[in-house]
Amino acid sequence: MISSPLCEIIPRIGIPFFLPLVCLTGSVIVDCVLLIAFFYTFVYGLKYYFLFLHCDFYFIKN
């Protein structure tokens, strides 16, 4: 998981307890964005894969 050095420093300084939670939430959001980007790319690539397969069958048939 992605974490910044700020997340490790904040608890030592004694800044309010909710800030590490903000760091954790930021990491979770980044992970979700990366996951969504991966699946979008995967599905987009799959669509073109089937499109090329269809074209291959079309040329083979003719």
**DSSP code per residue over 1-45:** ----HHHHHHHHHT--THHHHHHHHHHHHHHHHHHHHHHHHHHHH
Q: Which pLDDT score, from 0 to 100, does residue 3 have?
A: 52
Q: State the pTM of this model.
A: 0.43
Regions of the chain with pLDDT less than 70:
1-24, 53-62
Q: Which pLDDT score, from 0 to 100, does residue 62 have?
A: 52
Q: Which pLDDT score, from 0 to 100, does residue 42 have?
A: 84
**Token pair 């990366």: residue:** 34
| Domain range annotation of the chain | 5-61
